[in-house]
Structure 1
Amino acid sequence: MGRTVPTWRNRIEAELSALNDFERALSTVDKLALERLKNGVRIRRTAGGMMPAHDSWKPMLLSMLLECYSRIDELERTIDNIITEE
């Protein structure tokens, strides 16, 4: 029997691919930032698949927000370490 519902991974990759035209119009710096966000979605793909959603964007946006927060947290720890060393 064939699969009628695309896998979560395929749904996510299709949504991320839909951003290609948008990405082409971005500056180099913004392209790198978007790529980091897209990778954050891929890293958290398993967690996103656990959230029942007809709209792929809800878990994708949560994953992107977590990626941003993780980066902020990492930078705060780096700053704290620099301050502590002084």
Structure 2
Amino acid sequence: MGRTVPTWRNRIEAELGSLENFRRALNSVDRNALDQLVNGVRNRRTAGGMLPAHDSWKPMLLSMLLECHSKIAELERTIEKLTDEV
């Protein structure tokens, strides 16, 4: 008997694919930012699959927020390191 529910990976790839027209309309800076957020979702696929959700966007947005937080934390560490060197 086959699956009746698409896999988490297939669900998020379908959702991310639906953003393609939006992505194409963005300028290059915003397109790059969106690509980084999308990669954050893909990098956290396993964790997203552990969160039971009927709406794919909830775990996807959480993954995007984590991606943003990771970038901010990385920048804060860099600033702190540079400040210590001065």
Establish whether TM, by shorter chain, passes 0.5: yes
Correspondence list, 1:25-44, <5 A: 25-44=25-44
* Structure 2: gaps (5+ residues): none
* Structure 1: gaps (5+ residues): none
Instruction: Give 1:56 deviation, angstroms.
Output: 0.2
Query: Does residue 69 of structure 1 match 2:39?
Result: no
Aligned residues, how many?
86
- Per-residue deviation, residues 16-65 of structure 1 (Å, max 9, x unmatched): 00000000000000000000000000001111111100000000000000
User: Secondary structure, in 3 states, of the residue corresponding to 1:71?
Assistant: helix
- RMSD, aligned CA: 0.5
| Superposition TM-score, scaled by structure 2 size | 0.98
Correspondence list, 1:1-80, <5 A: 1-80=1-80
Work out the CA distance in 1 between the residues paired with 2:2 and 2:49.
20
User: Secondary structure, in 3 states, of the residue corresponding to 1:42?
Assistant: helix
User: Secondary structure, in 3 states, of the residue corresponding to 2:33?
Assistant: helix
Identity %: 73
